[in-house]
Structure 1
């Protein structure tokens, strides 16, 4: 009888330990909302491998497990705002700073103007965009300077997640230009090659095959990319991410992970 009681006690202790472990695993898994992109047929484009590499880096450095969920960008923001997880690829705006808790910047990106047709516009500053109609992705911001000029210097039209539809809108002159953020490219020529040989090719739309787009000689804006949560939610998670950014920056490992991230 004593042995039986001892065995039952061990089983109970083991079950309690297992349940505690399961709860810890459950608590350590965080939903991570990512931006949806669509192809010319409206089908969801898989998240690029580099983003998964970045996620793995932060999992290793934080001890957390992220559950990537791809959503339309506005819905991703709503889910984050409702406290259901955190978001990645987020930039700051005046309005967002009131509602979201941001991590440190993961990377800084240059935001370029893309146009079609001759002559190529000579965009040198934000003031050169005065009176223009600018296409951006739905739910996007391109940083605080962009946010301050929006609706004051230029008009913004938010478009679908389809790369092809955004390029075709510029060709049809339904917008004067589109803005596109590119990371780790320094010159207009580099970005122009990337736009025409990668982005337009990725759009896989017949109407775009013989089109060549121009890129502004210099970036129109500089933006930063962050993780973020709703104010008061997942504060410990953002803190762990911040510490991972600090360690990765000092060791140089984060720069290695981000290499080739366009």
Structure 2
């Protein structure tokens, strides 16, 4: 039945062409641009899988997350790696969930603190990714000035600020794998790898999606893409979650 639906939906998009998908250029290991300038990461593998099984060309453009999100809200293309919030529900049509990414709190060794809820970050300066949402509780805490957010577009910059004591903690996705991906790519961070500690409890479980601005009328395309998500999960191309 799923295969039949995929075949019925396919001809329109083969003729119309694949829409442009915007993506973060440094969301390790979820999706990023590698040293050769090519798209890489888990979400990139999903997009490649979708292109393969539908016979369509992959159109992906990497940029900063802030720009990717801004371009998507303007209806210039879709955006992958999008979180779902109540405010965004009025702006975007969403795919089915792709997978869950745990957003972790990283501190400098010797400066660990107990954490189990957002209130435990009260008074702290937290390094965040520019333009990202970390769930409504965290976003509201920033808006209410319960804590402060220091935004940067490059994850390595965030960790260097942590290393040099300019922030209290930093938010990093994908657990130890995500942290290692950032640290190992930068000589200074790699030389100080032992200085970074992930707190036991993640800040939030961030479910990721592909989204299009509602005025793009991409519900039929998303229905097709959902079939690719299901197939990729069945074939273990993408995980259910990254801890």
TM bin, normalised by shorter chain, reads 0.7 to 0.9
**Residues 113 and 215 in structure 1, CA contact (< 8 A), matched pair in contact too:** yes
**Residues 43 and 80 in structure 2, CA contact (< 8 A), matched pair in contact too:** no
TM-score by structure 1 length?
Answer: 0.73
C-alpha separation in 2, matches of 1:73 and 1:30: 18
Once structures 1 and 2 are overlaid, which stretch shifts more, 130-139 or 49-58? Answer: 49-58
- With over 3 angstroms needed to count, the CA separation of the structure-2 counterparts of 1:59 and 1:90, relative to structure 1, is same
- With over 3 angstroms needed to count, the CA separation of the structure-2 counterparts of 1:25 and 1:248, relative to structure 1, is closer
**Residues 76 and 87 in structure 1, CA contact (< 8 A), matched pair in contact too:** yes
Aligned pairs for 1:197-216 (under 5 A) are 197-202=180-185, 204-206=186-188, 209-211=191-193, 212-216=195-199
Give the corresponding residue for 2:238: 258
- With over 3 angstroms needed to count, the CA separation of the structure-2 counterparts of 1:197 and 1:56, relative to structure 1, is closer
Question: Residue 257 of structure 1: SS of its match in structure 2?
Answer: coil
Question: Residue 66 of structure 1: SS of its match in structure 2?
Answer: coil
Please give the root-mean-square deviation of Cα atoms over the aligned residues, in Å: 2.8
Q: Which of 118, 121, 127 lines up with 2:119 in the alignment?
A: 127
Give the corresponding residue for 2:23: 34
**Residues 64 and 153 in structure 2, CA contact (< 8 A), matched pair in contact too:** no
**Greater C-alpha radius of gyration:** 1
Aligned pairs for 1:1-262 (under 5 A) are 25=14, 27-37=16-26, 45=34, 46=37, 47-62=39-54, 64-152=56-144, 153-161=146-154, 163-182=155-174, 191-192=175-176, 194=177, 197-202=180-185, 204-206=186-188, 209-211=191-193, 212-233=195-216, 234-246=218-230, 248-249=232-233, 252-253=234-235, 256-259=236-239
Give how far 1:198 is off. 3.4
Give how far 1:101 is off. 1.6
Give how far 1:172 is off. 2.4
Give how far 1:230 is off. 0.5
**Residues 101 and 205 in structure 2, CA contact (< 8 A), matched pair in contact too:** yes
Give the corresponding residue for 1:186: none
**Residues 93 and 147 in structure 1, CA contact (< 8 A), matched pair in contact too:** no
Give the corresponding residue for 1:6: none
**Residues 30 and 64 in structure 1, CA contact (< 8 A), matched pair in contact too:** no
Question: Residue 30 of structure 1: SS of its match in structure 2?
Answer: coil
C-alpha separation in 2, matches of 1:199 and 1:49: 13
Give how far 1:248 is off. 5.0
C-alpha separation in 1, matches of 2:172 and 2:41: 20
- With over 3 angstroms needed to count, the CA separation of the structure-2 counterparts of 1:51 and 1:261, relative to structure 1, is farther
Q: Deviations over 1:149-194 (max 9, x none)?
A: 3323422221122x32111111222221111111xxxxxxxx44x3
Give how far 1:58 is off. 2.0
